[in-house]
Structure 1
Amino acid sequence: MSVQERKERERAERERLIVATARELAEQQGWDAVTTRRLAERIEYSQPVLYSHFRGKREIIGAVALQGAAELAAAVRAATAAADGPRARVYALARAYLDFAERNPAVYDAIFQLDGGLAYAQEDTPEALKDAFASLLEPLGGVAGDSVAPELFTEVFWACLHGVATLTRTGRLLPEDTDRRVQMLVDRLAVY
C-alpha cells in the first residue's frame, strides 16, 4: 500500500469517526449538544483536523443525513421484500419508516428537519436521498391508482408518514394509536 493510499484510508476513517460521534452525541443529548469543540474532544483530534473534513456543523448534519437516508432505504426495502402482496408491502413500508423515525430521532431530524446543506427534489440531490425516495416509490407506485402520478402519490403518502412520526414524537398524537393510523392511511390512500 502506498503512502497516499494509507493517508486516504486514515482520512476516511477519521471522517467516519466524526460522523459516528456526532450521531451518537445527537441521539444522546440532541443536536444542540453537537459542537465542533465537543466533537474534537470526543474523537481526540484538534478542531482544525475536524475542519479539514467538514466546514462546520451544517456539513456534519448533512453527512449524518446521507448515512441515515441510506439506512432508511435499506430498512424500507427489507421490510417490503419480506411482505406478501401489495397491501402488506405498503403496510410494511409505513411501519418500517415509523420504526426508523422512532429508533433514530436525531438521524431522522438530520434527514428531514435540520439544514444539512443538502438539496432535496432537485437535479443535484445526493444519490442517498434519491434512493431513500425510490425505496418508498417502489412499493407505492403500484398502488397509486391510474388518476395520479406515482411520484406525487409517494410524496403525499410520505408526508402523511412524516406527520405521524413527528406528531407522535412530540406527544401531539398518542403512540398507542399508531397502528390504527397506519391502517387507515393504507386503507384510504392505496388502491389495490
Structure 2
Amino acid sequence: MGIIERKLRNRENIRNTILTAALEIVKKEGWHSLSMRKIAQIIEYTVPVIYEYFASKDALLNELTKTGFKRLAAVLQKARILEDQPGQKLKKMWTAYWDFAFAQSEFYQLMFGIDTHCCQEKVILDDDENPSKMFLSVLAEIQGVDASDQQVSSQYFAMWSAVHGLIAINMVNPQNSEAFNMKVLENLIAGFTNYK
C-alpha cells in the first residue's frame, strides 16, 4: 500500500472513530449532551482535529442522520423482499420500521427530532436509500397506480404520520404494552389499505 492510500485509510479511520465516539456519548447521556469537546476527550485528540473532519456539529449530525436513513432503508429493503403480496409487504415494512425505531432509537430520534434537535441541513438520499420512496412504491403497487400519484403520496403521509406519532409517544412516554402497540399498528395498516 502506498503512502497516499495509507493516509486516506487513516483519515477514514479517524472520521469513523469520531462518529463512533459521538454515538457512545449519545447512548450514555443523550443527544443533548453531545459536544465536540466530549468527542475529543474520548478519542484523545484536540477539538480542532475534529473540525478538520466535520466543519461543525451540524455537519457531524448530518452524517449521522444519513447513516440512520441508510440503516433504515436496509431494514425496509430486507422486509420488502420477504413477501410477494403488496399488502403483506407493507405490513412487514411498517413492522420493520417500528422495530428499527426502538432498536436504533438514537438514530431515529436524530432523524426525526424526537427529544432532540435534528440536523439543520437537508439530508439528500438516493432513491434506494429513501424510506418514503420505498413505501410509496408498495402503496402504488397496491393501488395499481404510479408512485407519483397524489393519492399515493397522501396515503403514505397519513400512514407515516400515524406510525411516527405512535413511535414518538412511546419513546417520550412509554405506557402501552408491546402487544397493544402491535395491534394499533396492524389496525393502522389495515385502515389505510383495507388490508387485513
- Structure 1 length-normalised TM: 0.86
Kindly state the Cα deviation for residue 25 of structure 1 after the two structures are TM-superposed: 1.8
Distance 2:104 2:28 in 1: 10
Unaligned runs of 5+ in 2: none
Higher RCO (CA 8 Å, separation ≥ 6 residues): 1
1:64-143 aligned at under 5 Å gives the runs 64-113=64-113, 114-119=117-122, 125-127=124-126, 131-143=130-142
Matched, 1:150 2:152: yes
Q: Could you tell me the TM-score, scaled by structure 2's length? A: 0.85
| Inter-partner Cα distance in structure 2 for 1:30 and 1:37 | 15
- Return the letter of the residue paired with 2:139: L
- What's the RMSD between the two structures over aligned residues? 2.3
Cα separation, partners in 2 of 1:67 and 1:157, compared to 1, 3 Å: same
Identify the residue that residue 172 of structure 2 maps to in structure 1: 170
- Deviates further, 164-173 or 22-31: 164-173
Aligned residues: 188
The alpha-carbon deviation at position 84 of structure 1 amounts to: 4.4
| SS at 1:83 equivalent | coil
The whole-number CA distance in structure 2 between the counterparts of 1:117 and 1:13 is: 26
Bigger shift: residues 157-166 or 141-150: 141-150
Q: Structure 1: which 5+ runs fail to align?
A: none
**What's the CA shift string for 1:96-137, capped at 9, x where partnerless?**
1111111122111111113323316xxxx3438962322322
Per-residue CA deviations over 1:145-176 (Å, capped at 9, x if unaligned) read: 76853233222222221111101111265143
1:27·1:107 contact (CA, 8 Å) conserved in 2? no
Percent identity, aligned pairs only?
23
The alpha-carbon distance between structure 1 residues 4 and 117, as it changes in their structure 2 partners (threshold 3 A), is: farther
Residue 180 of structure 1 and its aligned partner are, at CA, apart by 1.0
